[in-house]
Structure 1
Amino acid sequence: MRNILSINPIGEKVFQALEKFLEHDSFLLEIDANERSLTHRVAIYLQELFPELDVDCEYNRDNHDPKELLIPGGDPDTYDTDAQTVYPDIIIHKRKTNKNLLVLEFKKTSSRVSDKKDFMKLREYQRQLGYKHALFIEFGVGYGNEGISRVEWISP
């Protein structure tokens, strides 16, 4: 994991946050806790490493408007006819600006949902919303499997 994350200074900070998460919160992986519980803890550690920016979980605003993506082949709900309101797992950005540094999507190995849409969303966060970096991280869950099982940088 360190090799792929150490590609740049941002990845190195993500690595440090994940190490801290594993050191202090691996029990959450062991018991297969809700993904939101896991990402919340990671976000706390990221905020310590990016004090000049805002680290938010499932933040859906672009200034005052909802953050939306046009997802090819997406299924918008009845109130969202032109795009899909998006709730990225974690973003590192500066609120009320266009400074969008990093978007992270997480998945657990226990998930039965394909990660295909996660990768598509990450590419669209970069293309449509200007995120400089996008990262997919998979948590290994369950007793004896707890850890980070996969990390992938996403190219726009």
Structure 2
Amino acid sequence: MLEQVKYYEDYEIGEARKTVGRTITETDFVVHAGHSGDFFPHHLDAEFCKTLPFGQRIAHGTMVFTIGVGLTATIINPVAFSYGYDRMRFIKPVFIGDTIRSHVEIRAKEVMEKRPGYGRVTERLTVTNQKDEVVLVADHIYMVEMRS
């Protein structure tokens, strides 16, 4: 991982980056179910899923979110902190064998009036599959130190 000090003033609206891909496996489904406690048949029961419109198991939305965010975690900024996520939507299903990648783009900046010395930076996370179809979107909000 790369460490990069980037203050609020350094962020520019429209600045973007893309990640490498990550292929989703059956092991991902099983491990995520174990960690989350979500053993819903839509994720784990292949025979049940054959009776559904998609005809196969569907990845946990929270797993797609976790992996999608993890793909972006390549830069450590010691003056920025995750403040949370807004507007998360699961747009299309992800299946075993799909390869996802993430794209992040700075969408907004604002001074945090109640936290002097900090600004809020909103980054749009878009996760796509191997067909370049959007499967998930969310806004990641950072609390970032200001220079002055």
Say yes or no: TM over 0.5: no
Which structure: greater helix fraction?
1
Which structure: greater strand fraction?
2
Larger radius of gyration: 2
Structure with higher RCO (Cα < 8 A, 6+ apart): 2
